[in-house]
């Protein structure tokens, strides 16, 4: 079964979680933990690859290279953050074509202007509804695989208020978005209304950002009000950043890592995780064939 078919099956089934990743290693951990889908977070790529905030500094090439590395290592369906398509409708078509080629199962597009910024930061600005509808149509036309899902995100709530955001969400659903992402919902009541009005028409995505503007709910709670999936896009970076800071503080204070071995992968565990033995055995097979030929 292809990864796009697997994603469509997930979207038609029970509510599910797509943890955020930013490289092949974090995607591998998600797969090994038993999750059925991963979310390739643009913010997390900015945090880890550039050491910069999510304010539109990453490029399509950087995102595509990241997706390609992840797809080479895991078979999970990948929902990929395509920001605002990195430009106009023609840029959107290139974005969809390239990310799909690199292994995206779904591509998320938002209605912010350039440069975009994190959905939970203030100061966002929007393109018109008409321009976003054109971008969605361009994205649909650019797909080679009709099962590649287009995720339509609106950031209008933070700019023009809840009713305006809800209106845009209805328009994007009418335009044929496969998944709808209403960003920065502020209260459980707003979330429940989105679920009531749109949950029966299109798969709804909830963005769970620790310390962000949206209440942090469980997948069971989200499913109960009409959401089909939840992404936790930046949690991996936050966990890694916290653990790394503790490690560095311990190393600076104690001059050794002996006191924190129970909080890290040792050499053997890390090699088991990435499959070192299996790769070495495969290499030995080819080496044996070469020697037999000699």
- In-domain check, residue 253: no
Compute CA distances 44 → 6, 106, 127, whole Å: 24, 17, 24
Same domain, 207 and 62: yes
- In-domain check, residue 247: no
- φ and ψ at 203, to 5 degrees? -65, 130
Same domain, 182 and 290: no
The whole-number pLDDT of residue 225 equals: 98
pLDDT tens-place values along the chain, 294 residues long: 999 999 999 999 999 999 999 999 999 999 999 999 999 999 999 999 999 999 999 999 999 999 999 999 999 999 999 999 999 999 999 999 999 999 999 999 999 999 898 989 888 999 999 999 999 999 999 999 999 999 999 999 999 999 999 999 999 999 999 999 999 999 999 999 999 999 999 999 999 999 999 999 999 999 999 999 999 999 999 999 999 999 999 999 999 999 999 999 999 999 999 999 999 998 888 876 666 666
Same domain, 117 and 196: yes
- In-domain check, residue 259: no
81 beta partners: 108
- In-domain check, residue 15: yes
Same domain, 269 and 213: no
d(CA 83, CA 92): 10
When divided into structural domains, the chain yields a total of: 2
Q: At 204, is the secondary structure helix, strand, or coil?
A: strand
Same domain, 154 and 63: yes
- The secondary structure element, H or E, covering residue 105 is none
CA angle 157, 215, 15 (to 5 degrees): 95
- In-domain check, residue 188: yes
Compute CA distances 260 → 128, 250, 251, 257, 265, whole Å: 52, 8, 9, 6, 10
Its domain, for residue 293, covers 264-294
Same domain, 26 and 129: yes
Instruction: Give the pair of three-digit tokens for residue 250.
Output: 């311990």
Total Cβ atoms within 10 A of residue 173: 18
The CATH number of whichever domain residue 122 belongs to comes to: 3.20.20.60
Give pTM, 2 decimals: 0.96
**Three-state SS sequence of 183-201:** CCCCCHHHHHHHHHHHCCC
Same domain, 276 and 161: no
Same domain, 137 and 271: no
Which of 240, 256, 273 corresponds to the end of one domain? 240
- In-domain check, residue 257: no
Same domain, 153 and 201: yes
């Amino acid at each position: 079964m292809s990864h796009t078919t697997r994603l469509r099956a997930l979207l038609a089934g029970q509510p599910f979680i797509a943890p955020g990743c930013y490289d092949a290693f974090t995607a591998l951990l998600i797969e090994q933990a038993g999750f059925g889908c991963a979310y390739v977070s643009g913010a997390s790529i900015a945090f880890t690859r550039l050491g910069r905030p999510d304010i539109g500094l990453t490029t399509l090439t950087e995102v595509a290279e990241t997706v390609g590395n992840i797809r080479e290592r895991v078979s999970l369906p990948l929902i990929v953050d395509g920001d605002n398509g990195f430009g106009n409708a023609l840029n959107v078509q290139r974005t969809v074509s390239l990310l799909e080629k690199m292994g995206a199962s779904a591509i998320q597009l938002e209605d912010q202007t350039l440069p975009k910024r994190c959905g939970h930061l203030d100061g966002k600005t929007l393109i018109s509804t008409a321009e976003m509808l054109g971008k969605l149509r361009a994205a649909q036309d650019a797909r080679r695989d009709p099962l590649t899902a287009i995720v339509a995100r609106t950031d209008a709530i933070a700019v023009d208020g809840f009713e305006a955001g809800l209106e845009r969400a209805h328009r994007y659903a009418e335009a044929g978005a496969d998944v709808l992402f209403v960003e920065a919902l502020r209260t459980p009541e707003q979330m429940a209304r989105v679920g009531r009005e749109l949950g029966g028409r299109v798969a709804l995505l909830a963005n769970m950002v620790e310390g962000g503007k949206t209440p942090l709910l469980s997948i069971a709670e989200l499913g109960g009000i009409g959401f089909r999936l939840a992404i936790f896009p930046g949690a991996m970076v936050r966990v890694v950043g916290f653990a790394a800071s503790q490690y560095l503080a311990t190393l600076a204070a104690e001059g050794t890592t002996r006191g924190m071995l129970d909080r890290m992968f040792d050499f053997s565990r890390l090699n088991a995780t990435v499959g070192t033995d299996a790769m070495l055995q495969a290499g030995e097979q080819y080496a044996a064939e070469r020697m037999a030929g000699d």
